[in-house]
Structure 1
């Protein structure tokens, strides 16, 4: 897997190195295009470092953000998007973009990285947060004891081929049978220019899990902001009934199915398996060679589903630096103190859950 990623990185043009003093700045609207040019070229950067996330997060949730960058001779050398979560229930934190699985410093050199770390430290101190959080795929501070990690999340990434038959045969037998069931039943996929049916399928699924729903405008903003890099793929029966839908991100040679869900019908017709197979087909045809099944918590149904598809779990060593807090955060559904809330939430009527959810979820991050 590492060789695949390294080869893809080598094919991209390296960012231009510059001379002169390094200086720290906050991104302004006029900086967005060169910020994104840097992110697209920087090997450490991810889709979740793009400037569009500032608009999405601020307009969807009213969350305050700081997009720091370091430049040298007019050339950006590193970026760090940060956001503040402040909640009586879930605590006070500064860190990578909320609701983004990857984040933290993306830089070309150690000095730029240090300056961005220092900026984050100064802001965390000024705000009086409980902790600072980076969400990298690898540890950024392995030798610094002030940064802590915890085993909670893993990611599932796998190479895919340009050949459908090869990809289908790589799916373990049981899940491959589910894909074939969906094909046999005549399920079809449509790519949509709105999020209406995607939101309906997603909201139904998260209520079943006891999780507060995101506001519909959040998904609409993602589609509006990221354009062709954000796809909504909906699965229907032959007679047009909604089965499932997924919102995915395309990034470099990767596809990332990010938000999705299925109706009750999806279980009867293997709708979720067919949906991810349809996405894999489309992504392979588009030239993607990495299928990033995304982040899951250890011990969850989503974790098991992805493993059953033949994906291997890779630990996500998120890093935390404590300030006013004395212990690492534990804001996740597996925490026993949230179990009563989850049980009660599952019993809410769907319209009520869809109304209340956005007021709660903005504090989760």
Structure 2
């Protein structure tokens, strides 16, 4: 049986995540605090114990009021989530998770449960409990291994990708990379989301990341003290995750995004990370080719949905695909995302 996480168990929870090969930043207590304080979601964090009282598994989730009603998600928004379980305890964990959902459906009218997965993971035990596996998105990452950036990686970038040419050109234009302040970072993020017709994160999301996860890196690309590109990096253990890439379209010729990618990949090599993770990518989008030209390998990201007949509701790009042709490069949409509601509406799309 699973038991609710108590505050006095926060330390052993994080230790279990740290020691597990499936553990990610999004499973940590720091990320729990970030989501709680940013969105006010109700957490449902549980521990599965073995016969001796030790931790056999953990399950982090949040109850979210979204566009499809109340849903239980592990975990909202970001790439990864789901239970972390010791071998031999998966069946017990998923049986307990189903029982939790049945209780929440009866007491609070929860419509469905969505479980994301850690990197390169599939929960085959979930299917025996009638979860439906759904391809959520694609992840692109570079496996560093024992390679050296200067001698092994950078010289072998193919000329036809023009990656090295773009980085050299960016430097010649005088573009530099430095730490970004939250306000400039956020202004560029909102303008980028407005341009592509999508919803921005609220500013307090980034502020909470900086507060509760000091290892996060807010990086900006500058020319003449003007920020023209920005990236958020979330290093955790052996994985350096790069997310929230933004750029000033009027300065696209300066190749700020290429320079940011170059600096982040080099940072990961020099600090001996095992993986550079470029995050999830919408299927059939131009960003797939962009990440591939850097030598990134494609991986499938799954979600497991219960009950199975609700799996059609978890497509994160369905709403965007339906409405982007109206919101992309739209003056009214640009005005909307600069309002309080526009900068907080993402809470309904976990």
**Which TM bucket (shorter chain)?**
0.7 to 0.9
- Of 258, 261, 264, the residue aligned with 1:279 is 264
The answer for the alignment partner of 2:228 in structure 1 is: 243
Q: Call closer, same or farther: CA 1:342–1:361 in 2, change over 3 Å.
A: farther
1:178 to 156, 162, 166: 166
Match of 1:83 in 2: 62
Give the match for residue 4 of structure 1: none
| 1:209 matches 2:196 | yes
Matched, 1:135 2:116: yes
Structure 1 counterpart of 2:252:
267
Q: Give the drift of 1:24.
A: 2.6
**Alpha-carbon shift at residue 41 of structure 1 (Å):** 0.4
Give a deviation string over 1:313-345, Cα, whole Å, max 9, x none. Answer: 11122221217x555215433458732685278
Aligned to 1:8: none
Which residue of structure 1 aligns with residue 301 of structure 2? 316
Alpha-carbon distance between aligned partners in 1 of 2:311 and 2:264, rounded to the nearest angstrom: 40
> Which residue of 175, 184, 187 corresponds with 1:197?
184
Q: Per-residue deviation at 1:359?
A: 3.2
Partner of 1:234: 220
Distance of 1:342 and 1:62 partners within structure 2: 30
Secondary structure of 1:318's counterpart equals strand
TM-score, length-scaled by structure 2: 0.88
1:147–1:319: 8 Å Cα contact kept in structure 2? yes
C-alpha RMSD of matched pairs (Å) = 2.4
Shift of 1:34: 1.5
Equivalent of residue 281 in structure 2, options 296, 315, 318: 296
Closer/same/farther in 2, CA of residues 77 and 47 from structure 1, 3 Å limit: same
The aligned residue for residue 7 of structure 1 is: none
In the alignment, structure 1 segments of 5+ residues that lack a partner are 1-22
Query: Which residue matches 1:348?
Result: 332
SS of structure 2 residue aligned to 1:316: strand
Relative distance call for 1:205 and 1:70 in structure 2 (3 A) is: same
Q: 2:34 aligns with which of 56, 60, 69?
A: 56
Alignment match, 1:13: none
| Separation in structure 1 between the aligned mates of residue 310 and residue 123 of structure 2, nearest angstrom | 22
* The one of 135, 148, 155 aligned to 1:151: 135
SS at match of 1:362: helix
Q: Describe the shift of the 1:115–1:252 C-alpha distance in structure 2 as closer, same or farther (beyond 3 A).
A: same
Cα displacement string for residues 105-144 of structure 1 (whole angstroms, at most 9, x for unaligned residues): 1111322x33332332122222223321121132202652
- Partner residue in 2 for 1:29: 7
CA distance in 2, matches of 1:34, 1:191: 33
* Deviation of the 1:40 alpha carbon: 0.5
Shift, 1:211, TM fit: 0.7
So what's the TM-score if we normalise by structure 1? 0.84
C-alpha distance in 1 between matches for 2:252 and 2:148: 29
Give the direction of change, closer, same or farther, for the CA distance of 1:327–1:162 in structure 2 (3 Å limit): closer
SS, match of residue 187 in structure 2: helix
Q: Which residue of 2 is the match for residue 114 of structure 1? A: 91
Summarize the Cα distance change of 1:30–1:172 in structure 2 as closer, same or farther, 3 Å threshold. farther
- 1:102 corresponds to 2:75: no
Q: Which runs of 4+ in 1 moved over 6 A?
A: none
| CA spacing shift, 1:326–1:26, aligned 2, 3 Å | closer
Residues matched between the structures, number: 337
User: Counterpart of 1:42?
Assistant: 20
Matched residues in 2 for 1:344 and 1:307: separation?
Answer: 25
CA contact (8 A) 1:254 1:288 kept: yes
